Amino acid sequence: MNIVNLRGITKKFGRELALNKVDIAVRNGEIFTVLGKNGAGKTTLIKIICTLLLPDAGNGSVLGYDLMRESEKIRANVSLVAPTVDVGVDPTLTVEENLLFWAVVYGLTDEEARKRVKETLEILGLFEVRNRWAMEISAGMRQKLGIGRAILVRHPLLLLDEPTVKLDVESKFSLRRFIRDIRNEFGTTILLTTHYFDEAEELSDRVMILDKGKVLVVDSIENLKKRISATEKIEIHAKTDSARAKRILSMFSRYGAFYEDAVFRFTVPLFSDAMNEILNEFVLEGVEILEVSSKSPSLEETFLTITGSSR
């Protein structure tokens, strides 16, 4: 079932075409990533999905509601977290008080509010800092606070626009784990935008590559990589004698087996069982394996190939 289903979405700002006949279908319960450079149209698309902007052309539905005719119902059932960490954070309130304030805004009863806020603080990893002023905690924690505000009402669709932008490395990793936990804990469908390749690769069930307002491809990470390369490189550092090395090279000649300076190299089909097959033979031959490494195409390489961009 598609929770977002839009077709032919087009948006202009003056003479600039921000989105060009974009189709997007997001499945219930998945983490769907819109990946693109700055200026690709990611934020414009996410604003249209939550009806903060209306398209110039196109139609479709979000959560079963018509995009053009039922915008109020869509906004009432979708949570959006903007890329600026301090949006919606009141500096005169503590972390806990900020969440309690929004619980009242969302219409939760006092009992529901206190229960939800406690649960959310624990899930966020903010319970220990609940009594600190909101502006005293780190930017990463404030971004979690913003997401916590968004999940208080358990909306089925969470929109995250560049959720880790401007965060330090530790905060980025922490927030990414948290995003996965939200989906796993509540079954929330998450649509996020990012220009970070590692973020898209780590989080996504499927990725849409958006470039200059046009959709170039939508697929899983695995299938995207298959589009540009059908193989991966394997290197095995091992201790062996020349006789065993020759037998291994002969057995795996179909994988372009090569041996030099105690390192075996193979080129094997991507996402195959070839590595296990090779390693099992090493064990049977009594070869001492020191190190194993493999290299498949990165998502960044895939993106650059698909978009025709240069590094």
CATH number of the domain residue 267 falls in: 3.30.70.1150
| Mean pLDDT on 261-287 | 89
Instruction: Identify the CA nearest to 236 among candidates 295, 195, 185.
Output: 295
Domain identity same for 158 and 198: yes
Q: Residues 244, 99: one domain? A: no
Query: Rg (Cα) of the chain, in Å, rounded?
Result: 24
Cβ burial 18-52 (10 Å sphere, 16+ → b, else e): bbbebebebeebebbbbbbeeebbbbbbbbbbbbe
Domain with 288 in it = 230-295
For residue 87, the model assigns a pLDDT of 63
Question: Is 303 a member of any domain?
Answer: no
- Burial of 109 per CB tally in 10 Å (0-12, 13-18, 19+): exposed
Identify which of 162, 166, 119, 306 has the alpha carbon closest to the alpha carbon of residue 229: 306
Domain membership of residue 269 (yes or no) is yes
Q: What is the pTM of this model?
A: 0.72
- Is 183 within 8 Å of 190 (Cβ atoms)? yes
Reported confidence tier of residue 228, pLDDT bands at 50, 70, 90 = low
Same domain, 53 and 159: yes
Domain count, the chain: 2
Same domain, 25 and 79: yes
Asked if residue 80 and residue 140 are part of one domain, the reply reads: yes
Residue 126 resides in a domain: yes
Find, among 166, 212, 161, the residue nearest to 52 by Cα.
Answer: 161
- Percent of the chain at pLDDT > 70 equals 95
Q: Which has the higher per-residue pLDDT, 178 or 110? A: 110
pLDDT above 90: percentage of residues in the chain: 56
> What CATH number is attached to the domain comprising 179?
3.40.50.300
Domain for residue 65, yes or no?
A: yes
Q: What is the mean pLDDT of residues 238-242?
A: 91
173 and 96 assigned to the same domain:
yes
pLDDT in tens, 76-126: 899 988 766 566 688 899 999 999 998 988 888 999 999 989 988 887 788
Instruction: Check whether 311 has a pLDDT greater than 50.
Output: no
Out of 21-25, 85-89, 118-122, 260-264, give the one with best mean pLDDT.
Answer: 21-25
pLDDT of residue 193 exceeding 50, the answer is: yes
Residue 302 belongs to some domain of the structure? no
